[in-house]
Structure 1
Amino acid sequence: MRRILLLAFGRTGAKRRQLLSDLLEPDTPSSDEELQKYINKARAIVKEGRKPDWLDNWDTEKLKAFVRSQTGGDAPPIVNRPKPEITNHQLAPERHVLKENIWGGPLNEKVRRTKLKKTYKQVAEKVLPPVPREEWELLRDLVNKKEEWEVPKRRAVGKLIWAKEDKSQEVAVLDWNWQRYATQPIWLVDRQKSRRNMLLSGQVDEDLPMGEQQPINCHRYTPRLWRRTLEQVWRMTAVMERRKDGKGWEIEWGQKKYEPPVAPSADLEFFEGAPVRAEPKKKKGKQ
């Protein structure tokens, strides 16, 4: 189910590739200054004497801003992340691409461009792209119990096997049938009571002295487990919007704030007269 949630919210799979394409797509110029930047970029490509490639169609500044947020202190710690972590030298690919060859001479521009594209490709494969605000707020409400979540229930996907003794009568395998034990191998008769088949069919073992027993390692999916799973997915998601002044982006990651529970009115008497812990004083800096 966790894998399905990762696919649904674009942490892996085809939806992630679509969200990543939206992240890398340059925004339409909305002012003369932004239009002038595109013109200067096209002139720089012509001045370098090369043909435009796929990296020229990426918004690298937007990508690097999101990568800094994902690897910096903005993003909460992620458990069992679906993608590897981004290394430090991948935060600024232009700085870490070598400018000299092994003989100390200038590196060929074509080779340097190839290395730069390879580094950007490695960075894009590790990015957890931002999601639309509607999906991000849906996860937030589910984690904070503001939205109702219908807990999925385990249902039987398998059917009981029926053994035909003759053309006019059908006997269920669950019932005691000594003829089958006398004429067929034991492993074939008891195959239905294997752990895998009992989980699929939903049946229980009735032959034990303590009564009906659930299949071994049959995990119970509780509402608390689902909220924790949704919280893990919410920690991997972020929303990215351009600031009102047009300079930079605002990035917000999902992170639940844990607060101590408030004591109910029936238990307040136990806390009467308890000392209030004072806040620690801030240390003065050196002058």
Structure 2
Amino acid sequence: MPFQLPHPDTAIHLYRHLLREATYVPPYCRPWVTERIRSKFRDDRRPNIHKAHQSLRYLRSANAGHVDRTLHLCFLASGRLGKRRRQLASSYLAKDPAVDSDALHQKPLLPTEKDTSSNRKPRPEEPPIQSWLDNWDIHKIKAVAGAQVRNTTNLPKQMRKTYDPALVLPTENAWGRPFKPKLAKRKEQKHYAKLLADLMPPVPQGEWDLLQALSLGQAETDMFNVPSRRTVATTPVTTQDSPTITAPEWNWEAYVTKPVRAVERGNSRAFKSLSGACDSDPRGQGRPIGVKIFNPRRLRRSIYGRVWEASPTLTKAKGKGKFQVTFGGARRELSPATTSDLQFFSGVDKQGAPTKITEPHKGNG
């Protein structure tokens, strides 16, 4: 940032500043960020002003070119993190609804219900254990978890390799006796709760195709153009001699009452993009850490490509309980060597092994 942006004082000005910052984020996550800001201010009766100020500083840091914070916004917009991730998981990993009336009536009995389909006396069996896990499709969860384990990209959350409960959960207690059904069900619920916390849910096919086009550079040109920040208005103070701009006063009381590291924390390279501070001395701390210039190539490779690599699609395959999961990601091949560089690779094959040199055949005489 060339200078420190003004910070709002009232709630309505804070709301306007947040909406203004939402127009500078990448085009892919811009609709989600705008809708999130509006819903937070409309739904909350008492909006948290302190968190809103933190969000404003976060958005300004991302718009200044901070790669990690911009990537985090795209992860939130695509459902790799946050509220939308839970919404996608409940939509795509839940059990399919009943096809007809017969399938709808075939539901598990509640503990208070009895089977009256026959005149036989019901056997004294334990009632079925009701669980939140009954609403989830275990085959879908295992298919996505297995594909996520085989995926070697840098995901926001890493999946454990032992995702199958049959390989992790014990079946007997310390005395060699099998667990009671209620205790075994609780252990299974705890395992799948941890599994769902690290799972990357599938995304809609249309959104997956859009991420693919953005990662390969095949989308529209407007999706790679980030609008430039407009000039911030300043209020100059004119005098009789010459017009001057008022500079902020030095707060000497903070240096007396607080440690210097606490006062100068906003000027450090790690927090400079959040505070918006700039070095008045050319021998200052230097450029902020993690801030880059967003051009179409950096957006395609560092932002859109990583979001696509962390986004799977789920389609039903042939067979009962079988699903096909496809994660995004394109193989990056090296460009071919030039003619002047090929001389360094003469005498070796594509694997780097030396080629055999055949000697010319010598005839008799």
* 1:21 maps to 2:95: no
Does structure 2 conserve the Cα–Cα contact (< 8 Å) formed by 1:10 and 1:16?
yes
* Structure 1 residue aligned with 2:306: 232
* Structure 2 residue aligned with 1:136: 208
* Structure 2 residue aligned with 1:285: none
| 1:49-89 Cα shifts (integer Å, max 9, x gaps) | 23422111211122112111111x3x2x222x32242241x
- Aligned-pair CA distance for 1:27: 1.5
* Structure 1 residue aligned with 2:287: 216
Distance 1:197 1:96 in 2: 45
- Aligned-pair CA distance for 1:260: 3.5
Q: SS at 2:244's partner residue? A: strand
Does structure 1 conserve the Cα–Cα contact (< 8 Å) formed by 2:85 and 2:201?
yes
- Aligned-pair CA distance for 1:121: 0.5
Distance 1:257 1:164 in 2: 58
Task: Write the mapping of 1:90-239 to structure 2, written as runs, cut at 5 A.
Answer: 91-148=163-220, 149-153=223-227, 155=229, 160=234, 162=235, 164=237, 171-173=244-246, 185=250, 196=272, 200=276, 216-217=287-288, 219-228=292-301, 229-239=303-313
Q: SS at 2:210's partner residue? A: helix
Unaligned runs of 5+ in 2: 1-69, 115-124, 254-263, 353-365
* 1:12 maps to 2:78: no
> Normalising to structure 1: TM-score of the pair?
0.67
Does structure 2 conserve the Cα–Cα contact (< 8 Å) formed by 1:156 and 1:200?
no
| 1:1-22 Cα shifts (integer Å, max 9, x gaps) | 1111001111011110011101
Does structure 2 conserve the Cα–Cα contact (< 8 Å) formed by 1:130 and 1:238?
yes
Task: Write the mapping of 1:62-73 to structure 2, written as runs, cut at 5 A.
Answer: 62-71=140-149, 73=150
Mean CA deviation greater in 246-255 or 56-65: 246-255
| 1:232-251 Cα shifts (integer Å, max 9, x gaps) | 11111111111256651121
Bigger relative contact order, structure 1 or 2, given CA contacts below 8 A and separation 6+?
2
Q: SS at 2:108's partner residue? A: helix
* 1:250 maps to 2:319: no
Does structure 2 conserve the Cα–Cα contact (< 8 Å) formed by 1:69 and 1:251?
yes
Distance 1:197 1:120 in 2: 39
Does structure 2 conserve the Cα–Cα contact (< 8 Å) formed by 1:157 and 1:200?
no
Distance 1:125 1:219 in 2: 32
Does structure 2 conserve the Cα–Cα contact (< 8 Å) formed by 1:164 and 1:170?
yes
RMSD: 4.5
Aligned in 2, Cα 1:82/1:157: closer, same or farther, shift over 3 Å? farther
Does structure 2 conserve the Cα–Cα contact (< 8 Å) formed by 1:83 and 1:126?
yes
Distance 1:102 1:232 in 2: 45
Distance 1:275 1:200 in 2: 57
Distance 1:11 1:197 in 2: 24
- Aligned-pair CA distance for 1:253: 0.8
Amino acid at match of 1:82: P
Name the % identity.
Answer: 25
> Normalising to structure 2: TM-score of the pair?
0.55
Which of 153, 164, 167 is equivalent to 1:78? 153
